Amino acid sequence: MQKMIESNSPFARKFHRDDLVLDKIDSELLFRGPERIVPGGWCIGSRENGSDPCSVVENITMLRPTSGAGRLENLISSFVSVGAGKDSIAAFLTARATQPGKAVTSLGSTHAIKLLSTTRIEDARFRVYSHRLDDKWLVGGASNTGGVVPRQLFSNEQLENLSKQIDPMEPSLLDYYPLPTEGERFPIADPKFMPRLSPRPESDVAYLHGILESIARIEAKGYALLKDLGATEVEEMFAAGCGSKSDKWTRIRERVLGLPLSRALQTEAAYGAALLALRGSQ
């Protein structure tokens, strides 16, 4: 049953009527008793001695997302992201990272982190999910912060000129949480979480420095959360996506993360998507 769940496609084939597998799905996955409905979050009765939990019902409009809901959300998100050419799994494959402890941050309009782990981690509270890769797990999450924020504030020409003036080895004392709009997914899961981009200093160089460093701090919090949840500790990091082209940002991230960063030889997710397709054909 566990292998069926981890495949992300437990109903990818038809079942015969009264198939024993369906009984197993009812009892172990849906917790549905014989001749009973599938219990929802509103069923609060006891299950002891075979009792029907739906014999006691509270607010029927109440929904309590479980790890199954998180798996469904992440599966659908992965379909959408592949279609958009921004899939962080494909970005991970571009780095050719094959050993546990290798991690890739895909820096685009938003940013996603992936860590190759020997342990599967699923936590709907923080929207942390895992995808199987051979005999290991790609554990990760995606934040709404990223390159879209500085691009909302500065033109491409301004970003290039201001970046040249940043000293990446000098810590910024500005503490921001750069988001394009209200709401965050990871490492804080809060649809009402508000962006924090003030106070704004007089110097645009200092402002951009503070934003880039604050995004790096969010990245560091993401990897720390994965470790706290039981994932393999990060040993080596790679960067993919447009943001990986910025040398100053890379140096800032190295200092904040405390690890050397390497840029993936191929930084486009389309290259990783091709590798993914190749894996599937073999």
Q: What band does 159 get if pLDDT is binned at 50, 70 and 90?
A: very high
Q: Give me 76's structure tokens.
A: 């659908």
Which residue did the predictor score with more confidence, 251 or 83? 251
Which of 231, 229, 7 is CA-nearest to residue 126? 229
| Strand locations in the chain (E) | 102-107, 111-117, 129-133, 136-143, 236-240, 261-263
Pick the closest to residue 29 from 73, 61, 71 (CA basis). Answer: 71
Domains and CATH numbers, the chain: 2-55 (no CATH), 68-281 (3.30.420.40)
Q: How far apart are CA 190 and CA 204, in angstroms?
A: 29
Confidence at 228, pLDDT banded by 50, 70, 90: very high
Distances in whole angstroms, Cα of residue 161 to Cα of each of 154, 158, 203:
10, 5, 13
128-157 per-position pLDDT tens digit: 988 887 788 989 999 999 999 999 999 999
